[in-house]
Structure 1
Amino acid sequence: MSTRTRRLLTPVTAAAAALLLWAVAVPLAGADLTVDQGGTEQTVGPAMTAFAALAIGYAAWGLLALLERFTARGTRTWTIIAAAFLAVSLLGPLGAVNTAATLVLLGMHLLVGAVVITGLARR
């Protein structure tokens, strides 16, 4: 598989992995994925899960392409930036309304981050 094809499919794979975790946690296990967003509660559903994974995956690919084109160590620089973004993103699930939601959302962030970082950075 070419690098371009693999990179094109990486965000789709990340979204599929996040949706699989969502499907196991919400419909099967009965977790309530609700997050407090500044006084407003928001439920994390499948559409939001897929959209977020796809958006971050394709944005990450765009940044990687720019860094590879304009810097000598683009992939290495991108990997460091991606790991930092993943670490910061782990603060988001801490606003969940219950422990189960926090754990599931942390798992989703880690899963999507792992798929995107390993899928895009690999040569």
Structure 2
Amino acid sequence: MAARALTVGGAVVAALAVWALAVAVIGVELQVEPGTTEPETVGPAMVTIASLAAGLAGWGLLALLERLTSRARGVWTATALAALLMSLAGPLAGVSAAATATLAAMHVAVAAVLVPGLRRGTRAQARDASASS
């Protein structure tokens, strides 16, 4: 459980690192224009909440799948990668190419931490490791 919590925390840190590099170092004006509303600035609080929510949702789904199927790891990985692909539609609301690229990079950074990190701690993998010892 601690490893999974660290993984979720790592995903938040990865997203914030991309945000800080783009906004504070490069100077990207990170704004989105969702639908017909006024442009909204994407700040560190929004990045933290979104990446934390994604991490906790992924962890929760994996825990549920582990209770329901012996193939939890594979099913979860396919679902996580599909979720990443669908989530990449969100950055299209960026008000500039730089904002869109930064938002997409944040999505990929979160997935790059969550997918291998949460997969590593699956119960099926732990059972396989102990059975081969």
Q: Quick check: TM above 0.5?
A: yes
Pairing of 1:1-123 with structure 2 (within 5 A): 4-40=1-37, 41-123=39-121
Q: What amino acid does structure 1 have at the position aligned with 2:13?
A: A
Alpha-carbon distance, 1:54 to partner: 0.7
Structure 1: gaps of 5 or more residues: none
SS in 2 for 1:37: coil
TM-score relative to the length of structure 1: 0.94
**What CA RMSD, in Å, does the superposition of the two structures yield over aligned residues?**
0.8
TM-score relative to the length of structure 2: 0.87
Provide the C-alpha distance between the structure 1 equivalents of 2:108 and 2:17, rounded to a whole number of angstroms: 14
- Map Cα deviations across residues 13-61 of structure 1 (whole Å, 9 max, x no partner): 0001111111111012110111110112111100000111111101110
Aligned length: 120
Q: Which entry has the higher C-alpha Rg, 1 or 2?
A: 2
Structure 2: gaps of 5 or more residues: 122-133
Provide the C-alpha distance between the structure 2 equivalents of 1:53 and 1:12, rounded to a whole number of angstroms: 9
